[in-house]
Amino acid sequence: MENIRIGFIGGGRIVQALVDGLHEANYLDKIHLTISCPSANDDKSSLKRFSNMIQMTSSNLLLCNTCDIVLFAVKAKLIKSICQELEKSLDKNRLTNILFISIVPGLTISTLSHWLHTENNIIRIMYNVNVAKCNGSYAISSLTTNENNRRLENYLKSIFDKVAYYAGAVSESELDIMCALIGSGPAFFCTAVEGLADGAVKAGLSRQLANTLAARTMLGCADVLVASSKHPAELKNDISTPGGTTIYGLHELENKGVRGAFMDAIMAAFNRAQTMADQLARDTK
């Protein structure tokens, strides 16, 4: 297993988050990782600090000729041309023995299969930036039954397990929901933290302290929910004493439709993921 090589086509924030998490978990130097991106030779790249543990290249073809697992982590509009280059240039045997993985919202197994002209060696993974602190979440959607591909998939899962909670094997439609919840969710939580901190600043607290306490309050609350398996409403009710400050604040949140706004945000992100999938699928016809 130790000789299995993993490659990322793309070196953006979501890839950097995984690299940071694996480094924090003291596991980055135990795997063979290559990243292909235009800034591979840029000394200012944030990935350069790991140059003694990862390989960097600007050639997608070179990466695919040396890696057993290849994850697409670039903008959706770039994928088709990259796939066409790989399908044209890679040896057919090589092409069919790589486990290709989409971590791009909307990039489905069928679309990637069509562009690469290969089957049974493509899966999807969704994970979030929280892997940077070994506290992420991820899920896998897979149709592959090939024994070698299963072996590669299990190896990749063992790596993600170092930095994230495994939500399970899901359908592609469920993965689009997870794109909204775990992929976009951190941004939604940051918006909530920012709003809470702004309120504290308005009341007179310093910006630095307000930001820190708002973030740590959310962190502590999440820990309690996960550890206790309590329903959020139960914990909310435990905190809300009759006639106290919390229930007055909750009344304002209800008046402003905050819960509905979060539900709408998830649905908007989910619908966007499916729209992106439809747009990419149309490009296969």
How many angstroms separate the CA atoms of 58 and 44, rounded? 15
- Provide the phi-psi class of 257: left if phi over 0, else alpha when psi is between -120 and 50, else beta: left
Is residue 60 marked as binding? yes
32-36 and 99-102 beta bridge pairing: unpaired
What angle do the packed helices 258-282 and 76-89 form, to 10 degrees? 30
**Interatomic CA distance for residues 221 and 216, integer angstroms:** 8
Q: Which phi-psi region, left, alpha or beta, contains residue 91 (left: φ > 0; alpha: ψ -120 to 50)? A: beta
| Residue 226 exposed, middle or buried by CB count within 10 Å (0-12, 13-18, 19+) | exposed
6 DSSP β-pair partners: 33, 69
Residue whose token pair is 């041309």: 81
3-state secondary structure 201-214: HHHCCCHHHHHHHH
Helices (H), 1-108: 13-24, 60-66, 76-89, 92-97
Looking at residue 29, what DSSP letter applies?
A: G
Question: Residue 156 corresponds to which tokens in the numbers above?
Answer: 């990749």
Beta partners for 138? 127, 166
Binding-site residues for NADPH: 60
What are the binding residues?
60
